[in-house]
Amino acid sequence: MRTPSRLALLLLLGGCVTQLGAPVERHSHDDSERIVAVDEVPTVWDESDEWLVSPTLESSEGASRVGVLVTLLEAGPLPELEARVVRADGTTGAWSAVEETWGEEEVHVAIADLGEVGTGAQLRMRPETQAMLDSLQWNAVIPEIADTGADDGVGSTASALRSELSGMGIVTRSAWGARATRCSSRNGTMNRMAIHHTVTPSANPERQVRGIQRYHMDSRGWCDVGYHFLVGIDGTVYEGRPLHLVGAHVGGHNTNNIGISFVGCFTGSGCPSGSGPSRPPEVMIDAAARLVGKLSTLFGIPINGSTVKGHRDHSGQSTGCPGDFLHSRLGDIRSRASSSPAPTPTPSPGGGACTHSYGGTYADTACSAGYQCCDGAWRTRGACGSCACVETTGETGCSPAPAPTPDGASCNHTYGGTYGDGACSTGYQCCDGTWRTRGACGGCTCVEGSGEVGCGGGPPAGASCAHSYGGTYANTACSAGYQCCDGRWGTRGSCGSCYCVEETGSTGCGI
């Protein structure tokens, strides 16, 4: 159990923060969303019948659904959560299970439809759940109706990433496994940019990006993730909502405004306990500056304090977004975006690897803090695609993932394990015989972190799946958080509706 600490009440809009000074909980995005102060749950939430019950989350626009975004301290299933409606007269409805709509290792998204429209809602958890939580944010909303009825496939976008941006190493929607956009409202000419932070943990930024998109779409009914770009703690930039579509990140100022959000929490106080560094690393600042500079050139946007500013700098916003520590770096982002790139180190003569001035050797496409090795020549990060690996001190260097096996399907790890197509080690995924970053070819068919054992290739089409708790699931059958898809476990809905559902994992559901 963590040692309790006093956390301030914060009001956040779009995942952004304004401090109000009371030691209870924090609101997020608007008055219908809240970030839970995990350390203070026992003192803020009421204990009742072996449950911890939250304070009422009032929603000015009403509430018929509760959505949650949970990050656990360790990978595991979503803990038991329940929600109920709170009516205008103070009476409450029956408790309903909060059911998972998406989950990946330690990150989970879940919703509960309350059966009626109230003025707010409450959430409850078991007392032992607190010790499992890294972060928890939840909302009480009336879900919106998405712009269109597009399908819910993975990796689809309204259009490909603009060719002018493709050389920057941006991780595309298809590469990180985005759900298909359902948006249709189009921007005109982009004329400004808004900087945000997500107020989530910053570890595993790609997984957080997938979770944020699911949370925005599943709980609120939005047509896509709200931001156009998201910047990871390692400087990796992810494509969010397609750039030509209107975002959802600054109330009343979304049209023609590009939303760029830093994955993490940069307020200095009141962040989720596991949110990572409170000050954005230089690699994030540099990555954002490169992106802002490129977008400025692409759309003819001048770079100044009126066109590139924080969420809280827009009129009518009651928020501290993007946090004091990131807000104080906006001037650096603007100045670096406006200036010419710094000269790069001298490349090594090997034609493939690059030697850092501090002594480290970097293989082709590997990255240091601010540069990338591109076929033996140092260039700015993203100049030759995503980083095969990153080592920021310059002293050690880093090599890309192990070389693939020649059979074109499975991959051999340097520690001896064999990984089938789609299988993952700790940091990489085997994609048709080639090691790439995790998520590059969809969800992991299996994961083995040591590198010594490996996990094999996929079973035949239509095959059933064995649950780790002992149950056997037919093709397209679902457990609590996953679905059997041709012998491989995927997220629920990844191969259509559930043929049948059995949540314990111990029994399974058959053909």
Do 133 and 173 lie in one domain? The reply is no
Question: What interhelical angle do 282-299 and 330-338 show, nearest 10?
Answer: 50
pLDDT attached to residue 144 = 82
Instruction: List, as own/partner pairs, every contact residues 146-149 make where C-beta atoms lie below 8 angstroms and the sequence separation is at least 24, other chains included.
Output: 146/182, 146/183, 146/217, 146/221, 146/222, 146/223, 147/182, 147/183, 147/184, 147/185, 147/223, 148/182, 148/183, 148/184, 148/223, 149/182
The count of structural domains within the chain is 5
Domain that holds residue 473: 459-511
Regions of the chain short of the pLDDT cut 70: 1-31, 145-159, 270, 272-275, 340-351, 400-409, 414-415, 457-461, 511
Do 355 and 264 lie in one domain? The reply is no
pLDDT attached to residue 458 = 52
Do 377 and 313 lie in one domain? The reply is no
Q: How many residues does the chain have?
A: 511
> What digits encode the pLDDT tens for the residues 45-89?
999 889 999 999 998 889 999 999 999 988 999 999 999 999 999
Do 322 and 251 lie in one domain? The reply is yes
Q: Which of 323, 338, 353 is the last residue of a domain?
A: 338
Do 259 and 349 lie in one domain? The reply is no
pLDDT attached to residue 344 = 40
pLDDT attached to residue 200 = 87
Q: Is residue 2 in some structural domain?
A: no
Do 432 and 373 lie in one domain? The reply is no
- pTM listed for this prediction: 0.63
